[in-house]
Amino acid sequence: MVMKKARNVDEYISWFPIETQEKLVQLRETIIKVAPTAEEVISYAMPAYKLNGILVYFAGYANHIGFYPTSTGITAFKDELDGFVYSKGAIQFPLNKKLPITLIRKIVKHRIELNAKPKLLKKK
In a domain, 29, yes or no: yes
In a domain, 41, yes or no: yes
Write the pLDDT tens digit of every residue in 3-47: 578 999 999 999 999 999 999 999 999 999 999 999 999 999 999
Write the pLDDT tens digit of every residue in 48-73: 999 999 999 999 999 999 999 999 99
* Domain membership of residue 55 as a residue range: 9-123
φ/ψ bin of 59: left (φ > 0), alpha (ψ from -120 to 50), beta (otherwise): beta
φ/ψ bin of 7: left (φ > 0), alpha (ψ from -120 to 50), beta (otherwise): alpha
Confidence of residue 1 (pLDDT cuts 50, 70, 90): very low
How large a percentage of the chain has pLDDT more than 70?
Answer: 92
With a CB cutoff of 8 Å and minimum separation 6, the contacts of 118 are 52
- What is the number of other CB atoms lying within 10 angstroms of the CB of residue 30? 17
In a domain, 108, yes or no: yes
How close are the terminal C-alpha atoms of the chain, in Å?
50
CATH number of domain containing 27: 3.90.1150.200
Give the per-residue pLDDT at 118. 63
In a domain, 109, yes or no: yes
How many domains are contained in the chain? 1
